[in-house]
Structure 1
Amino acid sequence: MKFSVNWLGDFAELPPGVDDLAELLTLAGTEIENIEKRGANFDKVVVAQIKASAQHPNADRLSVCQVDDGSGQPRQIVCGAKNYKVGDKVPLALPGAVLVGDLKIKPSNLRGVESQGMLCSPSELGLSEDSDGLLILSPEAKIGEPIASLFPEDTILDVEITPNRGDLLSHFGLAREIAALIGAATPSSRMVTDVDQPARGRAGSITISAPNACPFYSARRIENIKVGPSPDWVRARLESVGLRSINNIVDITNFVMLEIGQPLHAFDADKLTGAINVRMAKVGEKFLALDGKTYSLGEQDLVIADDARAVGIAGVMGGEDTGVTDSTKTLLLESAFFDPASVRRTARRLNLPSDASYRFERRVDPGMVLAASNRTAELMREIAGANPAAEIATSGALPASPPDVSLRYELCNEVIGISLPKERIEKILQAFGLEKASGNSAESSWRIPSHRFDLQRDVDLIEEVVRVFGIENIPGRDRSRFTPESEADRGHDFESRLRARLAGRGLAEVRTSKLISRQAAEFENAIELRNPLNEDHAALRRSFDLSLLDVLARNVLGGAQRVAIFEVGRVFIPPEGREERHLGILLWGNSAPTAHWHSDNRILDYFDLKGVIESVIPSAFFKRVERPDLVLAVEIWRDDERIGFAGQIVSERTKTIGPTHPVLFAELNVDSVAQLGSGQIFREIEKFPPITRDIAMIVPENLSHEKILSTIVGANEPLLASVELFDVFGGKQEQNFGAGKKSMAYALTYRDKTRTLTNEEITVVHAKIRERLQRELGVELRE
């Protein structure tokens, strides 16, 4: 948003230089994106009045004007603009003037007609970027007066306002912030006239049929309006921040919005039928907006309506049918509080952003709603000769101020890292408009002003203290000081290792939204949001399966033959919404990115997924389970804790994705794995050679490797160093062993750390293990 430094200076004492002001705001968290000098500070540019205008004899798009510049002699000017009429007062650049872009004005001959200067647009004078026509001045401007006296030099700040600071979207709001930051007196809200308890129903009946979307609505009748040009001081203020002057009525509502942050709308009261009803739109209801476009509304859109039709999209834009025109005599002035989520939803759905919706989306100050109506009525009386009604018709109730927030002074100093006196902390908070409700030497409770809804916790108050004290004033700590590794550091390092290992296995990392559709939420029993942006982002995901399937579908649609992806992020476990960090892995398609002439490209299978899991968690093991959504489902365990699951997804969705390759999916709880540690065991490098002996056996088809391994290891032989399954023989060859039988062969490695083993020692130990297998499992040993 653009701010005029001159305008800010009307409300508060500012730092001496613009650069100082920009640095102050930037360090306090309000970034200055650009600084621009404005103002018509040009020699030989004066106010002139157009006395006559005729078509150029040799050019269809040019006119020949006779103007009075106060010199006593009429001047002939060739002009290409079309937005003026005879009698208008406009800026005239005389020969010798130098305008924006180093444009030098001199007498010239344009298509055979002499021109003794140039009539100027706002952009040519550096007042705004508007170059569509001449700058039409106020009728009160004196002919021959230098333009610089009407448009004094100004500096425009382009400020990035964060979404939680809607209170800064006005000159008064930003000036109030500056005053608090420099410790100056809080700016006087002189534009806020005393507001008595408004009489209800005096200025016309109001009904709010949608109180959740519109808690409060007010309307004020203003009669005897004289629509015309705005005075130069209003035009100068608006155009300095990029708004084009329309007429005095529209300009006043825009002026008040820029001044104190409350959007307003003026209806032509004579075009309204009956009472005002703030309601939800009907399905398919048509609305012709001020931008000249017709919009189809839905039941989720809030509208302002009379007895006949919708006359405004609440908080977004008014209607063309009830807009102010040159013939308007009576206004109905709207000032309301609309729910931010409702305004945001409608503005996004209709693709209809506006200055009003920008502010309502970020929440306006309830304390300024009626004050803005009074300020507007005051300006309309002063500028447009209007007669505002003393009463304001209202309906509903303004939202209450935010709840009190408690602050412990010790916590404040711990977070900041320095010790500030209690008095200093309190003075800073009071500068931001907070009132101390109660307290003692250790803590205090603070009343939050209506415009600071972002202050909800003690850390928010601490942030305000830091912004005033200056984060640059907090002493740095000695780099050599030892800092113990935190749990957050360990988690971050573990995730970095996960990413590196998975990338090394040829998987690509993806990032998907934490929000899922309402339809998916019902399927997954996920936690739904109270105020979702739209139906596609209505709940919090509880797993990565749907998100990664969406990525798979898009890649297959794009022609991918292989998809190997992973994501590390947060999921939300119902019913309480517990947050967990998970790792999701999805494999589909060819095992290699491209075919190779030397070998056929096989399809990724379950064992590829198992290998990926074991590459990142070598100590993981698997237990078969039954899951309705997975084939070959297993639980993934490490030590005595379940850390995830894996399998092949089989659903209606996977059948529509593309070629019928298996969709392999695994999900692991990263938090649990990180807490278990790396699982790495460091040993001394072995000095003595190992001896390996094999055991081959015929076993029942249903006897698992896990059972055999636990039997071998369970012998607790100290010389046994490792066991490895190296051969499984069965299936079609089962006739060699008998029905339901298979052959399994293991390599057993023996080693001692202190000496070289003898064959006799190994033979004794090996025989014990063979006997144990025969005794406990009934296997048939092969020689």
Structure 2
Amino acid sequence: MKFSENWLRELVSIDADRETLSHGLTMAGLEVEELTVLGESLDGVVVGEIVEAVRHPEADRLQICQVSIGQSEPLQIVCGAPNARVGLKAPLATVGTQLSPDFKIRPAKLRGVESFGMLCSAKELGLDEDASGLFELPADAPVGTPISDYLQLPDACFELKLTPNRSDCLGLYGLAHDVAALFGGEVRKPGAMAVAATSEARRTISLQAGKDAPRYLGRVIEGIDATAATPLWMAERLRRSGLRPISAVVDVTNYVMLELGQPMHAYDNATVQGDIVVRHGADGEPLKLLNGAEARLGNQFVVVADQAQALGVGGIIGGEASKVTDATRDVFLEAAHFIPSAIMGRARKLGLHTDASHRFERGVDPWLPDRAIERATELLLQIVGGRPGPVVSAEIEQGSSLPQPILLRRARLARVLGISVADAEVARIFATLGMKVETLEQGWTITAPSSRFDIEREEDLIEEVARIYGYDRIPTHAPSGQLQVAVEPEAKIGELALREQWAARGYYEAVNLAFVSAELLQRWGLAKPWVELANPLSADLGVMRPSLLPGLIDALHHNQARQQARVRLFELGRVFAAPAVEGEAPLEAPSFAAVVSGSAALEQWGLAGRPIDFYDLKGDLDACLNWGGEPQRWTLDTAGLPSWLHPGRSARLLHDGKAVGVIGALHPQLSRELDLTGEVYVLEANLAALTGRRLPQARPIPRYPSVRRDLALDFPEATAWAQIDALLRERLGERLVELRLFDCYRGQGVEAGRKSLAMGLILQDTSRTLTDDDADHCVREAVTALEQTCKAKWRG
């Protein structure tokens, strides 16, 4: 938002200087992004008129001009501007003028001809970037008048970086209320409230776009002079606000937009056929825009049309066929309201960003068109003349859209701000901001104007008080009190430590979105009910993940598609499940998952390459479980595996007999559907179980030696080592300090359907040295237990 400082000060009277104004706006949340001072050192620059111009005898592009500045004799100026001509009035910098710190006007000779001053362009005066020619002044500009007086200089161009919620400040009148509240000024309403109709000309308006365009006002003005020049004061205000003057009618609509914040448009009434229809565009509907581009519209656009064709894109840009030209004699003036959702993104689809779309996307006061059309009519009658017809209004009932009163409690205000603001100051702030204030015993009820979309609740009112009262006037207090440091339980492995452990084993941590697509979960065969989102970010992110593995596998596929043959990933995150009772909050639990594929080890010369297998991933898991100090509480079970796992290379993870996760190969069919390369092994476990740790206990070093006995027995193929381990530890008790499996054999000498396991029993007693008899007794106990329970056969 760019504006002229002088224009703002015309709307609100304040005593603050430029620097104070800039600082106050920024501190109130209306950040001044750029401040450009205009015409600060133009002493000696006056209005000059070229009374004679002849070609320079030594240069084709130079003219010798005689310029009158109201003195007895004109000044001789050598000028190379292409628009220098007899009768032109332009700024003249006289001898001695200091236009900039390093540029002072002195008498000079140009190709042998003396010159006593310089005719100036807008750029040379520091008023604009236009250096294509002399700055042409109106024909009625008084010759000899200081240019500072004539152009109301010095001035400054402010550029604000507004947040999207302050669309009311995209008009100077809205901004003036904030300035008045900040510095104690009074806001002046620009223009008359209404202009009486002197013509019967009118057009009927039909609203067919529903809630996208709920209000539309139009007025015909007959008999205008479209060739009339835009007044200098208006042209300069537009130029200093970043808009280049075009024509009187267009300049008036732009001026009202900058002044009030209401975008407007004017149509050549002679090009409009029949009634005005505000509707949605048809698919592929053509329209040539004002910028010359050919657009193909669709149902997502709001179109202003007549009975024959589209005239413009509502809230964005008008059409070429209905634009106002010098031949226009009657205009149809438009002031409408379009809701933000009907405009958002539409200008970008057309490759545009217009001042109108910028405002409508952020929200414009729905009741502002009434005032804007009257203000524009007033200005047009002053500049181009004409006879205005009645204002025709069309409106769709949208229910009560007027702002509702909000209670602001005095105690709540003091508690949030930490200070007490005087009641009179609070009432003044809201009244100056254009809000209706009613004082109550406990505080105030505040009704915001319809332009303040950002005022919805009590907290918004408290923010307004803090913003205008001054954040720098609110003291800063350090928090007091005692802070209790949280102590991590010793019987738990920290998540950071767990991450470091897996990273040390060559895994990379992944962080995926907690949202997945329902189609992906169906492909995995993960059972419903899922936790579905009411307002997902996109259609493929509509379900809260019930498992970490779909996201990790997607990351693995992403890496494989980029020539990463060996991938090892892990993730810690929360998974979600639907509640058991409808209406309750979804269930969520911390989980850990890992995926691996490719070779077992990095490529090297000293080790033969082989693909990763089940036991590589299980070895990494075992290292983690051993780190927790209680690996004996973990067992594997092949019953009840999910369908997305390989039935012969997978197992459930049991912790104290309770299923807490799975480990194994991804099912080959699912791998093919997900376009994965090679075998993929996965692991997922409940994080709480995985981070459990046995508290360390100090024990004396054993004084007595240990004894080892090796056994070799045949077992049925289905017998699990975990069952053997648990049975022997139960039978032999504390004397069995370690059990080692060092061989597994199938083949000649062993019955089909059976396997031979060789194991070492490490026996030790803390009170005495074990004898051979003791060791033999333990062996017999072990063999008997295995024969009775596991159907083992002792091989000797």
Question: What TM-score, normalized by structure 2, do the two folds share?
Answer: 0.76
CA contact 1:528–1:538 (8 Å) conserved in 2: no
Letter in 1 for 2:4: S
The verdict on how the C-alpha distance between 1:592 and 1:131 changes in structure 2, with shifts beyond 3 A counting, is farther
The verdict on how the C-alpha distance between 1:299 and 1:93 changes in structure 2, with shifts beyond 3 A counting, is same
Distance 1:449 1:21 in 2: 24
The verdict on how the C-alpha distance between 1:521 and 1:642 changes in structure 2, with shifts beyond 3 A counting, is closer
Distance 2:646 2:682 in 1: 10
The verdict on how the C-alpha distance between 1:718 and 1:585 changes in structure 2, with shifts beyond 3 A counting, is closer
The verdict on how the C-alpha distance between 1:510 and 1:103 changes in structure 2, with shifts beyond 3 A counting, is farther
Per the alignment, residue 337 of structure 2 pairs with: 337
Per the alignment, residue 2 of structure 1 pairs with: 2
Letter in 1 for 2:155: D
| Of 236-245 and 5-14, the range deviating more from structure 2 | 5-14
Distance 1:413 1:713 in 2: 69
Shift of 1:421: 7.8
CA contact 2:365–2:451 (8 Å) conserved in 1: yes
Question: What TM-score, normalized by structure 1, do the two folds share?
Answer: 0.77
CA contact 1:540–1:572 (8 Å) conserved in 2: no
CA contact 1:699–1:742 (8 Å) conserved in 2: yes
Letter in 1 for 2:162: I
Which one has the largest radius of gyration?
Answer: 2
Superposed CA RMSD in Å reads: 5.3
Distance 2:521 2:474 in 1: 46
Distance 2:57 2:534 in 1: 68
Shift of 1:25: 3.6
Shift of 1:415: 4.4
Per the alignment, residue 272 of structure 2 pairs with: 272
Distance 2:716 2:440 in 1: 77
Give CA-to-partner distance per residue, 1:512-543, whole Å, 9 cap, x none. 788999998999999688798xxx78865634
Structural mapping, 1:56-455, within 5 Å = 67-71=67-71, 72-73=73-74, 75-81=76-82, 87-100=87-100, 102-106=102-106, 117-149=117-149, 150-181=151-182, 184=184, 187-191=187-191, 193=193, 203-227=202-226, 228-397=228-397, 400-402=401-403, 405=406, 412-417=413-418, 432-435=433-436, 441=442, 446-455=446-455
The verdict on how the C-alpha distance between 1:381 and 1:522 changes in structure 2, with shifts beyond 3 A counting, is farther
Letter in 1 for 2:331: L
CA contact 1:78–1:114 (8 Å) conserved in 2: no
Shift of 1:224: 2.9
The verdict on how the C-alpha distance between 1:429 and 1:641 changes in structure 2, with shifts beyond 3 A counting, is farther
The verdict on how the C-alpha distance between 1:475 and 1:305 changes in structure 2, with shifts beyond 3 A counting, is same
Distance 1:371 1:62 in 2: 51
Letter in 1 for 2:174: G
Mark the runs of 5 or more structure 2 residues left unpaired by the alignment: 488-492, 525-529, 629-633
Distance 1:655 1:667 in 2: 21
The verdict on how the C-alpha distance between 1:713 and 1:601 changes in structure 2, with shifts beyond 3 A counting, is same
Give CA-to-partner distance per residue, 1:433-483, whole Å, 9 cap, x none. 554679763x87654432222233443334334434544455544467423
Give CA-to-partner distance per residue, 1:664-690, whole Å, 9 cap, x none. 77789xxx958x996455434444459
Per the alignment, residue 490 of structure 1 pairs with: none
Per the alignment, residue 542 of structure 1 pairs with: 544
Letter in 2 for 1:187: V
CA contact 2:652–2:659 (8 Å) conserved in 1: no
CA contact 1:65–1:79 (8 Å) conserved in 2: no
Distance 1:193 1:7 in 2: 20
The verdict on how the C-alpha distance between 1:522 and 1:590 changes in structure 2, with shifts beyond 3 A counting, is closer
Letter in 2 for 1:36: T
Shift of 1:5: 3.2
Distance 1:682 1:170 in 2: 68
The verdict on how the C-alpha distance between 1:557 and 1:393 changes in structure 2, with shifts beyond 3 A counting, is same
The verdict on how the C-alpha distance between 1:22 and 1:664 changes in structure 2, with shifts beyond 3 A counting, is farther
The verdict on how the C-alpha distance between 1:769 and 1:173 changes in structure 2, with shifts beyond 3 A counting, is farther
Distance 1:433 1:615 in 2: 69
Distance 2:213 2:437 in 1: 31
Distance 1:477 1:601 in 2: 64
Give CA-to-partner distance per residue, 1:79-104, whole Å, 9 cap, x none. 3456x876543323334333357334
CA contact 2:646–2:664 (8 Å) conserved in 1: no
Query: What secondary structure, in the 3-state scheme, does the structure 2 residue paired with 1:124 have?
Result: coil
Query: What secondary structure, in the 3-state scheme, does the structure 2 residue paired with 1:156 have?
Result: strand
Per the alignment, residue 490 of structure 2 pairs with: none
Give CA-to-partner distance per residue, 1:364-399, whole Å, 9 cap, x none. 122323222222222222233343333233243578
Distance 1:767 1:622 in 2: 28
Distance 1:549 1:187 in 2: 63
Per the alignment, residue 683 of structure 1 pairs with: 696
Query: What secondary structure, in the 3-state scheme, does the structure 1 residue paired with 2:459 have?
Result: helix
Distance 1:702 1:52 in 2: 115
Give CA-to-partner distance per residue, 1:543-582, whole Å, 9 cap, x none. 4888777766776666555566678889998999979798
Mark the runs of 5 or more structure 1 residues left unpaired by the alignment: 488-492
The number of equivalent residue pairs is 759
Shift of 1:400: 0.9
Per the alignment, residue 631 of structure 2 pairs with: none
Sequence identity percentage: 32
Letter in 2 for 1:203: R
Shift of 1:23: 3.6
CA contact 1:271–1:321 (8 Å) conserved in 2: yes
Distance 1:7 1:310 in 2: 36
| Of 117-126 and 576-585, the range deviating more from structure 2 | 576-585
Query: What secondary structure, in the 3-state scheme, does the structure 2 residue paired with 1:348 have?
Result: helix
CA contact 1:195–1:370 (8 Å) conserved in 2: no
